Amino acid sequence: MLVLRLLNVVAPAYFLCISLVTFVLQIFLFIPSMFRDPSTTPLFSPALLHGALFLFLSANALGNYVLVIQSSPEDLGKDLNLGKGAEVADWLDGSRSPGSALPSTHFCRLCARVTQRHDHHCFFTGNCIGNRNMRNFIMFCLYTSLACLDSLVAGMAYISATLSMSFADPLAFLTLLPHSISQFFSGALLSSEMFVILMLYLWLGIGLACAGFCCHQMLLILRGQTRYQVRKGMVVRARPWRENLQEVFGKRWLLGLLIPVLNVESDYHRQKEK
């Protein structure tokens, strides 16, 4: 438990550090290097177009990241009737399932709260992912993967121009790291260039991981399931996939694709209002 709590603090700091490094490299290294092409007009130069795209992706990724943290799943422990003599700790092993409990209600040890439609605990946000912040979490993964892909392409273009090398051969990227390490220790490669090369592989790994996680989460949403339900082997009621999507993304789904907006209200709130 101590290791998990430490990871819950270190992982968000690691993500924010990587985001800051990526922003600095893009703004002060990659984008200025694109202005060196005198053949393009200033209005439609690759630097301005790429800069606008990167800022759009970064703003959506960071905005949804903040909304995931702010839209914490509500603590239902105070509202649910856990039964006579029952404590919140009784939910740790999932042994209690009172009639007043909502589907896939779960107690998270790290957050110390009982949440509705618990999916999983995200260490990079330090928060549980549930009914209230699922859409923002998916948008966060989507735009993070796109921002990493954008940074990867810009970084490869910078390395290609700086080191006068071509990435036309697919094996060129695979052999770039070991070849660069040997050049770095021989003094033929600057430390800044070596740092950019290391970041290329980091962006590739983070981008693929976020894209894969986003696709897997979308598949579960189409089925009307959560990761917690799959892990516990819970049977869910079959519903049309359109209803499952609307439950997570709401009627403002198109707006949520373009700008960070709050998620739809949970079913629990709607039931309370009724």
Contact 74, 263 (CB under 8 A): no
Catalytic annotation, pick one of 111, 122, 148, 210: 122
- CA dist list (Å): 138 to 133, 169, 188, 211: 9, 33, 43, 10
Report the distance separating Cα 133 and Cα 140, nearest Å. 10
Nearest Cα residue to 103 out of 70, 123, 80, 87: 80
Identify the three-state secondary structure at position 128.
strand
Contact 53, 150 (CB under 8 A): yes
Nearest Cα residue to 12 out of 108, 110, 106, 152: 110
* List of E strands, the chain: 106-108, 113-115, 120-122, 127-129
Is residue 210 part of the annotated active site? The answer reads: no
What DSSP designation does 251 have?
T
Evaluated on CA atoms 246, 247, 252, 258, the torsion sign reads negative
Q: Which residues pair with 128 in a beta bridge?
A: 121
Report the distance separating Cα 205 and Cα 213, nearest Å. 12
Report the distance separating Cα 51 and Cα 30, nearest Å. 9
Active site residues: 122
